[in-house]
Structure formats: structure tokens, C-alpha cells
Amino acid sequence: PEIIKAVFEKYHPQVVFHAAAYKHVPMLEHFPYEALRVNISGTLCVAKFAGIYDAERFVLISTDKAVNPSSIMGASKRVCELFLHTLSNQGSYKTLFTSVRFGNVLGSRGSVIPTFNRQIESGGPVTITDAAMTRYFMSIPEAVNLILHAACLTKGDDIYMLKMGEVVGIVELAERMIRMRGLGPNIDIPIKYTGI
């Protein structure tokens, strides 16, 4: 908290984009305390200082996994959204608090695409949690556009989501990526289901 306080004291930011979080679902299932410490306590700390130092706007980068969460990571991000809702409604701060929920951002570190590419390059298997698993995808420019729109349009206590079009089956995506390399799914490159 002291380092965050010092940053706010020195720079007095007008807009805070809070993207810091642990987003690795299986890792947080093994270490749930880290989801509490980093995702929830970190958000609480930064949001409170944004309010104390009169930042105009605070944008939480959340996740589509916060909708009816089935993982520690999704639940931790949902708690963050609810915390911002509480800050917005208690009237202690001038700051407009808002959240932005993302799907899978193509080309980002957390995207399934680079993971599948690495797995295919190493000869497999391509790992998928469940055959019924689906994802929405957005590009990096779409993600940036969504964040900027959320910051500009918010009246406080909002949750923004990009209209991401059609949902994509992860098995279908993996099979396409394997075929694009001239290989056969479950022939040249096995597909392994790891469980949710």
C-alpha cells in the first residue's frame, strides 16, 4: 500500500486503468490465497487510493469469467466488480468506478492461440479442458477501444462488455490450427482433454 500511495501522491493520475491481476485459472485453483492477495486486495488498494486522491475515473480490467464464476480466478474478479459497485454507491469518492469484461484477446499473453501454437510446434498434445469449451475472441485494437470507451462513457458503477459476435468452439479452433500446418488432428497431433 505504501508504494501505491506514493505513486498517487506524486502523480495524481486522472484516469487509472487497473489491469494487474493473476489470470492463470489452473494456477489460482492451486493457490487460491494468491487470487485473494493479488486480485482482490490489489484492486481494493488501488481503487481506494484512486478515490482518496480524486482520480476522475478508475477502469478495472475484468473478465468474462466473472459471469457466474466457476473458478477462483473468475470469482476473484467478480468480487472486484462488486467492490467497485460498493465504492460507487457509498458516495465517499468523486471517482467514477467502472469495469470492462474481456473475452480472449488474440495475440495477448493469455490467449489460447500462442499456447496451441507452442503445443503444435512441440508435437503435441494440444490440451483442452473440455470438449464443450467455447470462447469469444477479440483483437488487441478492439480491446484497447473497449477500455477507452469505458473510460470516456462511464457515469460510474458500470460494467462494459464488447459485443464479440459468435462463440468459437475450442476443439474446432485447435483442429483448424493443426490442419493449417498440414497435420491431422488426433493423427499427427493428439488432442488431450484435461478437465475443467
Secondary structure percentages of the chain, helix, strand, coil, to 5: 45, 20, 35
For residue 133, which amino acid is it? M
Name the CA dihedral angle for 73, 154, 134, 143, rounded to a multiple of 10 degrees.
Answer: -100
Distance of alpha carbon 51 from alpha carbon 97, whole angstroms: 9
Strands across the sheet containing 96-102: 15-18, 57-63, 96-102, 158-161
The question of whether 65 is a catalytic residue gets the answer yes
- Active-site residue identified among 65, 94, 163, 192: 65
Give the β-pairing of 57-63 and 15-18: parallel
Helices (H) and strands (E) counted in the chain, each on its own, are 8, 10
The closest of 82, 23, 10, 75 to 49, measured between CA atoms, is 10
The catalytic site residues sit at 65
